[in-house]
Amino acid sequence: MRRKIVAGNWKMNKTATEAAALVADIRKAANDGNGPVEVVICPPFTDLKTAAEALKGSSIGLGAQNMHWKADGAYTGEISAAMLKDLGVKYVIIGHSERRQYFAETDETVNLKTKAAIAAGLVPIVCIGETLDERQGGKMEQVIVTQTKAGLAGVDMATVVLAYEPVWAIGTGLTATPAQAQEVHALIRKTLAEMFGADTAAKVRIQYGGSMKPDNAKELMSCPDIDGGLIGGAALKGDSFAGIVSAGA
């Protein structure tokens, strides 16, 4: 039985001062993460220290939104796994669609970052997903399989969490139905089985990252291969985030 995991990706939102208030709201609304669903928040780098302090005594995990694969060096503006660990970070999002779209993230860098995260003892949340052009062009399966195989080649999957992001359904006015989401999650799990074996594939948790909200979360997480959510906008308010967490219980 895979434990559901709901992670809030705050993206480039909230100052450190605002983060403390939001963490307090989330702790109260989500019962400090003391439930059947694993709860994670992923604030911006500048908020991590504040969030770590604000989370003390709770069961809510702290995640980052990105990291570099090198341990140190002349990489201006980048953050290493050791820097994250030192702040109390346990999870890290890797290969988010916005990183791919705006910052030239590739399947190769996703693979390097995932291996580095695991080596450092972090839990990587690895993102996969197709664009609107790719879906309309009939390339969904090709893109999903390629990203999965290339991004996870040679990876120890024991702690990896995956997140399917239908990029075409984020901010476009289009909506992925639970059936469409389940279809891709099943494809990802099938690909994992081909790469790592059926037992490993059955254990890997795959989140859904396509505009999950309190009113559609239960239906989505009831699908057999959807094991939680990677939440964007709805993670910026304690009550809406907690509503999604409750839907996974």
Q: Choose the weakest-confidence range: 37-51, 57-71, 124-138, 166-180.
A: 166-180
- 194-221: average pLDDT: 95
Q: What does the pLDDT read at residue 243? A: 96
Which residues participate in catalysis according to the annotation? 96, 165
Given a cut of 70, is residue 41 above it in pLDDT? yes
Domain regions of the chain by residue span: 1-65, 102-239
Computed from CA positions of residues 55, 231, 225, 203, in that sequence, does the dihedral angle turn out positive or negative?
A: negative
d(CA 83, CA 165): 27
Give the per-residue pLDDT at 171: 67
Domain 102-239 classification at class level: alpha beta
Reported as a pLDDT band with limits 50, 70 and 90, residue 130 is very high
Q: pLDDT per residue over 21-30, tens digit each?
A: 999 999 999 9
Q: Which pLDDT value is given to residue 170?
A: 77
**pLDDT, average across residues 32-60:** 97
The stretch 82-86 carries a mean pLDDT of 98
H helix or E strand, kind and range, residue 127? strand 123-128
pLDDT digits (tens, 9 = 90+) for 183-201: 999 999 999 999 999 999 9
3-state secondary structure string across 45-100: HHHHHHHHHHHCCCCCEEEECCCCCCCCCCCCCCCCHHHHHHCCCCEEEECCHHHH
> Three-class SS of residue 235?
helix
pLDDT value of position 173: 66
Whole-number Cα distances in Å, 187 to 41, 80, 194: 27, 32, 11
Cα–Cα distance, 78 to 38 (Å, whole number): 28
